[in-house]
């Protein structure tokens, strides 16, 4: 299910230990249509992490999401419109009523120690969600060899 590309293998090779990590984040929907609750974040981890896949605990497909990472600071979603629209959640996270409740990312994403992923959600306009959880599945990288992987800031 998960594809370990050459670059992903290069990252894994910079660490002695690869531990499973699961992070479930509370979204905080209140059941109000089209609401935008405050941004939520993954937990800080005192190790580098490779995030692989996402799951959500609600079925509504017209919930929208925008993802940004901190350390490294990258935006993930583009909507080049005069009125930009966030990304439908179904393109990003699997749900329990689907045959693939866990949807892999196009490529595993590397977050440095104490870095987080922040998410802005917008609730469904037709069938609003109450509460809501989003789960990230990844690999925690401990025992860095020569400082671990620093490819984002590598000079070559």
Per CB under 8 A, residues contacting other proteins are 1-4, 12, 18-30, 37-38, 40-41, 43-47, 50, 52-53, 55, 57-58, 94-96, 99-102, 104, 106, 108, 113-114, 116, 131-133, 135, 137-140, 142
CB of 156 to other proteins, least distance (A): 26
Shortest distance (Å) from residue 16 CB to other proteins: 12
Distance CA 4, CA 7 (A): 8
Q: In terms of CB distance, is 45 or 64 closer to other proteins?
A: 45
DSSP assignment of 60-127: -S--EEEEEEETTTEE-----SSS--PEEGGGT-EETTSS-SSEEEEEEEEE-TT-EEEEEEE--SSS
Separation of alpha carbons 88 and 116, rounded Å: 21
Nearer of residues 4 and 85 to other proteins, judged by Cβ: 4
Q: For residues 26 and 79, which CB has a smaller minimum distance to other proteins in the complex?
A: 26
Least distance to other proteins, CB of residue 110, Å:
13
Q: How far is the CB of 146 from other proteins (least distance, A)?
A: 17
Burial of residue 28 (CB within 10 Å: 0-12, 13-18, 19+) is middle
């Amino acid at each position: 299910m998960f594809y370990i590309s050459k670059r992903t293998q290069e990252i894994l090779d910079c660490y002695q230990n690869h531990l499973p990590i699961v992070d479930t984040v509370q979204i905080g929907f209140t059941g109000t249509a089209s609401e935008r609750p405050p941004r939520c974040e993954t937990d800080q981890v005192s190790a580098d992490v490779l995030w692989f896949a996402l799951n959500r605990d609600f079925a509504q497909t017209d919930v929208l999401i925008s993802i940004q990472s901190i350390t490294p600071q990258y935006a993930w979603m583009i909507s080049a419109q005069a009125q930009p629209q966030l990304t439908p959640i179904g393109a990003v996270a699997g749900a329990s009523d689907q045959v693939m409740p866990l949807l892999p990312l196009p490529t595993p994403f590397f977050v440095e120690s104490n870095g987080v992923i922040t998410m802005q959600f917008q609730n469904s306009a037709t069938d609003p969600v109450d509460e809501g959880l989003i789960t990230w599945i990844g690999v925690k990288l401990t025992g860095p060899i020569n400082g671990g992987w620093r490819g984002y800031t590598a000079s070559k």
